[in-house]
Amino acid sequence: MKRIARSTLQTAVNLAFFAVIGTAILAATFSLTHEAIENTIEAEKLKLISQIVPPSQYDNDILRDVKNVPADALLGTSAPTIAYIARLKEQPAAAIIEVVAREGYSGDIRLILAIRPNGELSGVRVLAHKETPGLGDYIDIGKSDWIKGFDGKSRITWGDAQWKVKKDGGQFDYMAGATITPRAVVKEVNQTLQYFALHRDELFAPTTVSAITTVTGDSK
């Protein structure tokens, strides 16, 4: 009887031991996997940001130098988002903001913009869209260089009349048969520059909050 009890106890101890070991292995695996995923996400973010703010133009940890940005009609956002702040020798170099153009032909168009302290655009990229392939999708850098037409532009040199596609009397090119898509993008970029002018000091103030958020899109 004692032998059976001892055997049962030993079995229970063994099961408990292996359960603990198994849990530890799973926890370690999750930790390593989670870390790998986070590292991949950060690498993709930096790859995307480098398209609109060259790494040589900032020396801070841009993914952790961030500002919380409340939802705002000028940004086309319905929920809070994050602005990444690029700094060089502790001086502001650019604010990178994710916004939404609400008037695309096939729905919302998500954009990411980099704006220099003087209000000039460093670059714009499309993160996500549902525009018609071969027609309105030329706003994507993977399809054409149209989006590069924003580089260096600002509201300092152009007023609202110029921030339109040429069909509407503005300065931006468009492709025949696909006016709605670029019109929506130009409008939102202009509105984002207006937002920046109103909130510049807040965006470039010393960062007191650190955060990481997922920025996804075509990194071509």
Q: What angle do CA 138, 139, 144 make, to 5 degrees?
A: 50
Token pair listed for 163: 């921030």
What span, in angstroms and rounded, lies between the C-alpha atoms of 163 and 143?
Answer: 22
Token pair listed for 123: 């670059």
What span, in angstroms and rounded, lies between the C-alpha atoms of 41 and 63?
Answer: 11
Tell me what percent of the chain is helix, strand and coil, each rounded to the nearest 5: 45, 20, 35
pLDDT for position 198: 97
pTM: 0.76
- Asked whether 121 and 152 are in contact (CB, 8 A), the reply is yes
Burial class of residue 188, CB neighbours in 10 A (0-12, 13-18, 19+)? buried
pLDDT for position 113: 96
Burial class of residue 80, CB neighbours in 10 A (0-12, 13-18, 19+)? exposed
- The residues near 200 (Cβ < 8 Å, ≥ 6 apart) are 95, 117, 119
pLDDT for position 213: 45
- Percent above pLDDT 70 for the chain: 75
Helix (H) or strand (E) holding 122: strand 121-128
**Is a pLDDT exceeding 80 seen at residue 22?**
no
Q: 121-176 pLDDT, tens per residue?
A: 999 999 888 776 767 777 888 888 989 999 999 999 888 889 999 998 989 888 77
Q: 3-18 pLDDT, tens per residue?
A: 545 555 455 444 454 4
- Asked whether 88 and 58 are in contact (CB, 8 A), the reply is yes
What span, in angstroms and rounded, lies between the C-alpha atoms of 178 and 143?
Answer: 14
